Structure 1
Amino acid sequence: MTTSTPVRRPAPPRPAAPRLRTPRRHTPGRPRRSVLLTALTGVVLVYSLLPLVWLLISATKSQEGLARSFGLWFDGDFDLWSNIADTFTYQDGVFVRWLLNTVLYVVVGAGGATLLAVLGGYALAKFDFPGKKAVFAVVIGAVAVPATALAVPTFLLFSKIGLTDTPWAVVVPSLISPFGLYLMWVFASEAIPTELMEAARIDGAGEVRTFFRVALPLLAPGTVTVLLFTTVATWNNYFLPLIMLKDSDWYPLTLGLDSWNKQAQTSGGETVTNLVLTGSLLTIVPLIAAFLLLQKYWRSGLSAGGVKE
C-alpha cells in the first residue's frame, strides 16, 4: 500500500510595505524656495520699477511725442539729449540754480542733522544724567509726529523772527531729525563697548578724543544710514519750501519743477512737460548713485543690534 505525499502549496506573497516618503532635508546655506514668496517679490519689484521705467522712457520724447506715443514705449524720435540740454538752458538756466539750492539744503541741513544725531545718540547711549527717561519719551513722541503737522507752526515762528523767504527757513528745520537721533541712540548702545571707552579713559584720553578716536569709527555704519535718510528727506522736501519760500531763486528742485508743471494751467503759459519729466529723471540720479555707493554701510547699519551675542 502506497502512501501519497501531500503537496505543499506556495505561501501567498506578502503585501509590499508602503514606502514612506523621505522628507526633503534643508541644506544649510541653501535658502528654501517659495513660489508664493517669489511671486509676491516679483509683483513688488514690478510695482517699484514701473514708474522709473515710465519716467526714463518719457524723458526720451519730445513734447509732441508724449501725446502721440504709448506711455511705456519709445517714440520714433529719441530726444533725451536735447531734452537734457533744454532743461539746463530753459529760463536762463534756472534749473542749475535750483540744483545748487538743493545741494546747499542737503549739505547744510542733512549734514547738520546727521552730525547732531550722532552727537546726541552717542551722549544718550553712553552717559547717564537726570531726566534721561524724559528725553527718551520726548524723542519717541517726536518720531510719531508727522513733519506736515509742524509745518504751519514752524512757519508762524519763522515769520515772527523774519526768516521766511530765506534759505534758513529750509535749513534750520532740516537740522532736527528725531528718527535719526533715535536710530543713533540704539546703534551706539550696541556698537560701542563700554569697556573700550573705559580703556581709553585709563590711557589718559579725554571725552572729546575718546569720541573722535574710538567711538566715531565704530559709528560709521549708523552714521551713513542716518545720512542717507536725512539726505533723501531733504532732497525730496516739498511742503516746507512751499510754505516758506516765495522767491523762485531759492526754490529747491521739487518746487521748481512743480512751478514748470503748473505753467500750462496759467493763461499764456508754456507747456514743458518733457522738461519736467527730464528734470525729474535728473533729480533722482544723485539719490540712486548715493544708495548704490553706500548700500554696504546702509545695510550693516540697519542690521546692527539684530543679533544678540
Structure 2
Amino acid sequence: MTIDERLDTHLVTVPATQRHRSARRRAPRRSNLLTVFIWISVLYFLVPLVWLFISTTKDNSGLFSTFGLWFGDTFEFFTNIQNLATFQDGVFWRWMLNTLLYAGVSAIGASLFATAAGYALAKYRFRGRKAVVAVILGSVMVPVTALALPTYLVFAAVNLTDTPWAIILPSLISPFGVFLMMVYAADSVDDSLLEAARIDGSGEFRTFAAISMRLLAPGFVTVLLFQLVATWNNYFLPLIMLNSPSLFPITVGLAQWQSSASAGGGAQVLYSTVLTGAFVSIIPLVVAFLFLQRFWVSGLSTGGVKG
C-alpha cells in the first residue's frame, strides 16, 4: 500500500472513529436511583390491585386467617361473583348502570364543554378574556368538597335532589379541563390553518368541528379520562344528593355495605362481597383507559410528523 493510499485510509477511518466516540458520549446514562424510584412507584400502584384481586378469591374466613398477598385454601372467586350478583336482588348491577350513566354522560359533556371553552379562550381575543381566565384558574384551586353543600342547596331549591341530574349537571363543569384545553389548543391549532379555513369560506363552528377537533383529540381524550375517573370515584356529592338506593352509584352503595359489615351482628359476611364489588367496579375504568390511550399515541405521532 502506497503512502497516498494509507493517507486516504486514515482520512476515512478517523472521522468514523470520532463518530463512534461521539455516539458513545451521547448515549444516555443509566440512573440507578431513577430506576429504583420507578420500580417503587410501580409497586406502590400495583400492590393494592394485586391484594384486591387475591382478596376476591377468598371467603370471609380466609380474609382474616391468611396473609393478604397470598391465596387462601380454596378459590372462591366465582362464588363471590355469584354472591355479588344475587345479594339484595342484584342491586350491585343497578349501581353499576347508574355509575356508567353518571360517569359516561358527565365525562363526554364536560370534555365537549371544556374543549369548546378552551379553544375559544386560546384562539379568540374578546373583552373580559383575562378576567374569565382568572376566574377559571381560581376555580381550579377550590376543592370540590367545598362546593358540595352550596350545590345541594341550589339543587334542593329547584327540586332536583335525589335525581340523576343532581350528579350529572355539577359534573359537566371542569375548570381544570378548560384550563388544560386552553393551553393545549394554543399550541396544537395553528392560526394560519384557521385563517386558511376562513378564506375558503368555512364558518367558525364548522372550522372548530371539522378541523380543530381533530387536532384537539389527544387533549379531549385526556379531559375525558380525567372526568370519567373523577365522576366514577365521586362519593361525597352522591352521598348528600341521593336518598334512594336505586339511584346510588357504586361508591355510595359499597360504602353502605362496608358500614353494615363493620357493624357486626352477622353482617361480616359482606366483606368478601364488598371486595369483589370493588374489584369489578375498576374493570370498566381499565378497559376505558386501554381503549382510549391509542388516541394519545396517534396524537403524539401526528405532532411529531407535523414538527
The size of the alignment, in residue pairs, is 284
Aligned to 1:75: 72
Counterpart among 115, 139, 142 of residue 139 in structure 2: 142
2:199 is aligned with 1:237: no
Q: Which amino acid aligns with 2:196?
A: A
Q: Is contact 1:112–1:175 with CA below 8 Å preserved after alignment? A: yes
TM-score of the aligned structures, taking structure 2 as reference length: 0.87
1:27 positional shift: 3.8
CA distance in 1, matches of 2:58, 2:182: 48
1:107-127, Cα deviation, whole Å (9 max, x unpaired): 221111111001111111111
CA distance in 2, matches of 1:32, 1:234: 41
Aligned to 2:8: none
1:294 positional shift: 2.2
Counterpart among 70, 83, 86 of residue 86 in structure 1: 83
Point out the more displaced range, 30-39 or 54-63.
30-39
Q: Which amino acid aligns with 1:237?
A: N
Q: Which amino acid aligns with 2:289?
A: F
1:151 positional shift: 0.8
Aligned to 2:163: 166
Q: Which amino acid aligns with 1:195?
A: S
1:299 positional shift: 6.4
Counterpart among 172, 196, 199 of residue 193 in structure 2: 196
Counterpart among 275, 283, 286 of residue 284 in structure 2: 286
Point out the more displaced range, 263-272 or 108-117.
263-272
Give identity over the alignment, percent. 55
Distance 1:302 1:255, change over 3 A: farther
Q: Is contact 1:191–1:304 with CA below 8 Å preserved after alignment? A: no
1:292 positional shift: 2.2
1:293 positional shift: 2.5
Partner of 2:163: helix, strand, or coil?
Answer: coil
Q: Which amino acid aligns with 1:216?
A: M
1:33-81, Cα deviation, whole Å (9 max, x unpaired): 1111111222222111111111010011111211221111000100111
Aligned to 1:274: 272
CA distance in 1, matches of 2:27, 2:251: 44
Q: Which amino acid aligns with 1:233?
A: A
1:301 positional shift: 6.7
CA distance in 1, matches of 2:89, 2:40: 43
1:189 positional shift: 0.8
What root-mean-square deviation, in Å, do the aligned CA atoms of Structure 1 and Structure 2 show? 2.2
Distance 1:181 1:65, change over 3 A: same
Distance 1:257 1:296, change over 3 A: same
Q: Is contact 1:26–1:32 with CA below 8 Å preserved after alignment? A: no
Distance 1:266 1:39, change over 3 A: closer
Higher normalized helix content (fraction of residues): 2
Aligned to 2:184: 187
Aligned to 2:129: 132
Question: Quick check: which has more Rg, 1 or 2?
Answer: 1
How does 1:1-309 map onto structure 2 within 5 Å? Answer: 27=24, 30-266=27-263, 268=265, 270-271=267-268, 272-298=270-296
CA distance in 2, matches of 1:27, 1:160: 70
1:285 positional shift: 1.1
CA distance in 1, matches of 2:131, 2:267: 55
CA distance in 1, matches of 2:23, 2:33: 18
CA distance in 1, matches of 2:297, 2:145: 28
Q: Is contact 1:151–1:240 with CA below 8 Å preserved after alignment? A: yes
1:31 positional shift: 3.2
Distance 1:29 1:93, change over 3 A: farther
1:168 positional shift: 0.9
Aligned to 1:12: none
TM-score of the aligned structures, taking structure 1 as reference length: 0.86
Distance 1:89 1:30, change over 3 A: farther
CA distance in 2, matches of 1:29, 1:78: 53
CA distance in 2, matches of 1:118, 1:292: 22
Aligned to 1:3: none
